[in-house]
Structure 1
Amino acid sequence: MPSDIPAPAPSPGSLDPRLAQDLTVAASRFARTIARRADVGVSSVAWRLCSTIHRRGPLRLSEIADAENVTRPTATATVHRLEVAGLVCREPDAHDHRSSLIDLTPAGLEALRRWTSALGHAAGPLLGELSDEDLATLYRATALLHRLADAAEHDHTPPPAS
């Protein structure tokens, strides 16, 4: 929903489905815009994948594909590129000797820090134009989005049919 259009007042106990739609579209649009401005030198799938591994720990390829909502071949190709660059490594899975776990290398962790710093610097000028009240709202919204994402990552029930 464009910022110049006032949001409808919510009714007590109700959730307008447009909120979820608009929030998802706006967050995705903002993330893509900042990624383009930051030009970190790798695909957004690559730095998101590294961020997921950093947050969740070593993962199987199938878990990476699921977490990033990409196909297994895309996850495999991205991991291969990151592995060749020395940013991730494979280690044996102690619970399943047929599988390996993908983890960040020290170089991968440093690259992730550089990428996230670049993203922050790219967003800074835009955020700097906001009022203190708007910034406080974004701090609160960021905490809420992290909480919702954490809960969703641990909820393995299928989404409702649309």
Structure 2
Amino acid sequence: MTPPDAPLLDDPGAVAENLHRRLFRISTSLRRHEFEQIANGGLTLTQCSLLYILRDKQRLRMSELAAHERLTLPTVTRAVTRLKDLGLVTRTRDLSDHRNIWIEITPKGVELQRSAVESLMNAMLSGMSPAEVVALDEALGPLERLVR
């Protein structure tokens, strides 16, 4: 039996629109709150996003960072320069092709990003019951498959 608050799957357009709106609000809210956590270090949302990418990918060329974020190379260069000045990333030339510049997150960058996320999530999850946290965790698998 379908619970009374379950979405009506006979209108896929309405379900898709509702799901998109809710996921967008959640994503935007998380990024905004995390940005506020990291912003105390003077970082912009773009810089925070670059730290996320580098933490996931380990090492990327400057051009790959720009393409991933859909930003111009000069914009990424400015952001990376700021992150480098703060000791959050390193920038090295590719020895086999001097046109390529590799960007890597430093341990300090990983720690800043990790601690901001941990602080944010601890604050958010503290208002939930253990059962709600488990339900949220179980819902993430299908959501990850959905966005792939």
Question: TM-score band, normalised by the shorter chain?
Answer: 0.7 to 0.9
Gaps of 5+ in 2: none
**Over aligned residue pairs, what C-alpha RMSD do you find?**
2.9
Distance 1:67 1:140 in 2: 29
Distance 1:80 1:135 in 2: 39
1:22 Cα deviation from its structure 2 partner: 2.4
Q: String of CA shifts for 1:93-122, please: whole Å, max 9, x gaps.
A: 366432121112xxx322322332133213
Q: Which moved more, 1:92-101 or 1:71-80?
A: 92-101
Q: TM-score if structure 1 supplies the norm length?
A: 0.68
The aligned runs of 1:1-162 (5 Å cut-off) are 8-11=7-10, 14=12, 16-18=15-17, 19-37=19-37, 39-41=39-41, 42-93=43-94, 96-104=97-105, 108-145=106-143, 151=148
Classify 1:145/1:99 alpha carbon distance in 2 versus 1 (closer, same or farther; 3 Å): farther
Q: TM-score if structure 2 supplies the norm length?
A: 0.73
Q: Give the count of matched residue pairs.
A: 141
Q: Would you say the 8 A contact 2:93–2:101 is kept in 1?
A: yes
Gaps of 5+ in 1: 1-5, 152-162
1:143 Cα deviation from its structure 2 partner: 4.5
Q: Would you say the 8 A contact 1:83–1:89 is kept in 2?
A: yes
Sequence identity, in percent? 27
Counterpart of 2:28, as a letter, is S
1:142 Cα deviation from its structure 2 partner: 3.9
1:56 Cα deviation from its structure 2 partner: 0.9
